[in-house]
Structure 1
Amino acid sequence: MAAVPAAGVALTAYLWETPAGRFFSDEDAGFVAEVAPVLATRLRNGLHPRFTDGDAALVGDPVDDPVDDPAEPGTIILDEELSVVGTTGAAWRWIERLGLARPGEIEPLPTVVYSVATRAALSRAQGAEPPTSARVCLQAADGQWTVVRAAPLVGAAGGYVLTLEAARPQDVAPLLMQALSFTAREREVATLVIDGLSSEDIARALFISVYTVRDHVKAILAKAGVSRRHDLIAVLAGNTQSR
């Protein structure tokens, strides 16, 4: 274990064995010490309040955009070093809507955006073919669920494309089912309820009795804090006003 003070934040790095059974080397520990200032800055600034209209312009700030569709997905292009290549105006609108602070001119994107991009970068670094994408669901102050996705770009130039857009029910439902402590069988039943199946159809699909389905549905409704199926569907789609 090594404690690394950096940028006013004491980072504690735990150096454990690799999957191959080898301990990290002094060179690995030195790398951690080198990146600690960047990590510390992102961690500290990620706790800052959101920027206001009076703040100084940052790299990638959008110009006036006549199109202001709140549902329009936002796009961010990063190079292989995770530096910003370009953004759309919609990307910054989603970031503002989520209340995410932008650290500064050198690191202009919120910490969570870099985190998702890093997960995609790790897939490429580990040799996955094709490299897998990464995503995270976030909830804005108005209750709107948003998905941030990062996918490696194909081609010699490399880099990554990130999208920010409204989450679909299938993006949010698994997360909320886990948060509501649904059992594995309850998750199966709830998924079929979302698909619009009746108790009889669910029973046939899962090879259980209709009475068992009804018991599961009753337990699911209680955990979700609703009394009707269509309210359950709304809750699992991220509509908190239905509870």
Structure 2
Amino acid sequence: MWTAADSETGLITAPMPVEDLGSGEGCAAYWESELLEENVLPFRDLARASVPAAALRAATGDLPGRSTRFRRLLAKGGVHDELHAVLRIGDRPWGLVSLFRTADAFRPDETAVLAELSRPMAERLRGFARPAASVRATDAPGPGLILFDESGEATSINDAARQHLALLPAGPSFPSPLGLRLPIWVIGTALQARAVADGRDHGDARIRIRTVEGRRLTCHASCLAGVGGRPGSVALVIETATLADLSVLIAEAYGMTSRELQITRLVARGLTTAEIAATLFISPHTVRDHLETVFTKAAVSSRGALVARLFTEHYWPALPQRGA
């Protein structure tokens, strides 16, 4: 299994090639276990570990049954060992990998190879994450809403959500009582909201995803309070990415820091080096250093080329088009 991940939350997103996990139902059970059960080597731990890859049998002293997922799912499917890896740059996860072996255990040198590939593969994924150029959204649907009950079943959906879902890329999906299949990354976001409500995680239940048209959507979920304060239904919203989301996507895709993105925005507004320095309370020399780094990351050599590359090519075309 190879999947892209949201670099802010580490949750699964598209694309997602899956082999030998069975149907979408099997894939959904895998991610339900990953987010809601006690397992060895969850991706969220590997994202912060000193080494971003580890094999289940090696981590458990050849006692893989310590992992709930192994006992409940993998062993029944004939899996002997599982190798997990997070493709990351610093503490930013850009992809997740799970390799299965039906005989023998993964060797330490195999784990080391995957760990060494973590950053270069993450850098490749980050490049693909750049908002598509020359894509102009027209008549984008409003916010879509899907409600999940306490058991995780989708119970309600509005028309806008159906429209958004129809434009998501193909991938593993799960049948629902609503008469449509829900992508596994949508289900994973809802499961994360439940995990946060249950105290199993403290992260955000939120992903950003690209439609087949090239537009960017955000998908975020939260668990509502039920009777007596117990976790109740989960509300999941799918909507067109905001300006702030697009700015962050551009910065992440080009490897910019938050300070570099601040300076880039001020450059786009036409501020001089001295004006940028005064606005951010830093020296003009520091502004020039940051700009030099930004030029290198964006592969440009001037302010005009920078604005054209980041905003004319990526930021502006991705915004919803409004009538005059």
Q: TM-score, normalising length from structure 1?
A: 0.63
Query: Is 1:123 aligned to residue 196 of structure 2?
Result: yes
Structure-2 change in CA distance of 1:116 and 1:175 (3 Å): same
Structure-2 change in CA distance of 1:234 and 1:123 (3 Å): farther
Q: Deviations over 1:86-123 (max 9, x none)?
A: 10111111111223457353582111101111211111
Q: Is the 8 A contact 2:141 2:163 kept in 1?
A: no
Instruction: Give SS of 2:142's match.
Output: coil
Distance across 1 between alignment mates of 2:200 and 2:66? 25
Alignment equivalent of 2:165, drawn from 72, 95, 99: 95
Distance across 2 between alignment mates of 1:71 and 1:138? 15
Compare 101-110 and 171-180 and name the one that shifted more: 101-110
Give 1:1-243 correspondences, 5 Å limit: 7=22, 16=40, 28=68, 29-33=70-74, 70-100=140-170, 103=173, 105-106=175-176, 108-126=181-199, 133-156=204-227, 158-183=232-257, 185-190=259-264, 192-193=266-267, 199-221=273-295, 223-224=297-298, 227-228=303-304, 230-231=307-308, 232-234=310-312, 237=315, 239=317
Q: Is the 8 A contact 2:146 2:237 kept in 1?
A: yes
Distance across 2 between alignment mates of 1:225 and 1:143? 22
Superposition deviation, residue 176 in structure 1? 2.4
Instruction: Give SS of 1:153's match.
Output: strand
Distance across 2 between alignment mates of 1:78 and 1:154? 13
Q: Is the 8 A contact 1:152 1:160 kept in 2?
A: yes
What is the total number of aligned residue pairs between the two structures? 202
Distance across 2 between alignment mates of 1:32 and 1:239? 44
Q: Is the 8 A contact 1:102 1:108 kept in 2?
A: no
Structure-2 change in CA distance of 1:209 and 1:139 (3 Å): same
Distance across 1 between alignment mates of 2:314 and 2:171? 28
Q: Is the 8 A contact 2:174 2:184 kept in 1?
A: no
Structure-2 change in CA distance of 1:198 and 1:80 (3 Å): farther
Instruction: Give SS of 1:158's match.
Output: strand
Instruction: Give SS of 2:181's match.
Output: coil
Q: Deviations over 1:183-242 (max 9, x none)?
A: 45423423555687653343124333224424533542453356526533455637479x
Amino acid aligned to 1:120: A
Q: Deviations over 1:10-63 (max 9, x none)?
A: 98x9963799xx988658243345997xxxxxxxxxxxxxxxxxxxxxxxxxxx
Q: Deviations over 1:103-146 (max 9, x none)?
A: 35358211110111121111111177xx8641111112322111
Q: Which has the higher strand share?
A: 2
Q: Is the 8 A contact 2:224 2:235 kept in 1?
A: yes
Distance across 2 between alignment mates of 1:82 and 1:235? 40
Structure-2 change in CA distance of 1:122 and 1:206 (3 Å): same
Q: Is the 8 A contact 1:78 1:160 kept in 2?
A: yes
Compare 168-177 and 182-191 and name the one that shifted more: 182-191
* Aligned-pair identity (%): 24
Distance across 1 between alignment mates of 2:214 and 2:40? 39
Gaps of 5+ in 2: 1-19, 46-59, 78-137, 320-324
Partner of 1:62: none
Gaps of 5+ in 1: 37-67
CA RMSD in angstroms, aligned pairs only: 4.2
